[in-house]
Amino acid sequence: MKVLVSGASGFIGRHVTRALLHAGHEVVGLYHTRRPVTGDAVHWVQFDLSKEDWIPAEGGVSGVEGLIHLAASGVDPRSANWGECFDINVTCAMRFWLAAVKHGVRRIVNCGSCFEYGSAADKYEFVPSLAAPEPMNAYAASKAAATMALHGVVASHDILAASLRPCVVFGEGEPEYRLWPSLRRAAMAGDDFPMTTGEQVRDFLPVEVLAAKLCQGLTRNDLTQGRLLVENVGSGEAQSVRDFAIHWWNHWGGSGELNLGALPRRTSECARIVPEM
């Protein structure tokens, strides 16, 4: 299958493109600013989701059948703002999906987020995919709104689609400001590591597992035309941030101290979000 991947140069995108190529698909990767330097046989096309709805046929997009949508704004909570999150993640994404369908795409796999559930997670030990979202910040709210928009696009155009909701994704290539790479950097340097008490409970998912699930979404045979499948993706294990940090700190042989409680917990996050699998 010829597959278009938005956000292909990002953390998850790079793993998705490799998984697609390994599975024998032809890949057109969309990047925003800097073209990835890679030996992968990806046809790279520069694309700005905020300004364009589709890329011309000469960009290598002719004949694309599937779309994996990863492009998003607000993943970094330090720079997320309401206007940009809703503009990029909802309005621009919806415009892009509609253009993709018009140009022949018949399967869409969207990467959502378990943080769409927000405070609704307080009602469940393991959150079912049918739980009504109660998001707690701009990014989560825009992702939940995007899922609703995709429901409409899928129903009105009778296509096959899935929106997969991972919880905390980690692994190689992850942005340096996030927990896993920050832990590794401090452990390798022998530094102390300040963090919250780490009482929050999450499902930590290796990025390779998510990439494989996203790719499989293109060919799975349990999708129904005109109905969006919303599904959780996880490891199936609940783990506190504290235990996750201690595990990896010991794995890397950190000689400094894990300073638990040195940082305050963000008020815009739930104590526990663990998806039902």
Q: Does the pLDDT of residue 195 top 70, yes or no?
A: yes
What does the pLDDT look like over 95-106, one tens digit per residue? 999 999 999 999
The full set of domains in the chain, from first to last, is 2-169+205-233 (3.40.50.720)
Of how many residues is the chain composed? 277
More confident residue, 78 or 221: 221
pLDDT, residue 39, reads 64
* For the chain, percent of residues with pLDDT exceeding 90: 86
Q: Which of the four pLDDT bands, split at 50, 70 and 90, describes residue 276?
A: very high
Q: Does the pLDDT of residue 78 top 90, yes or no?
A: no
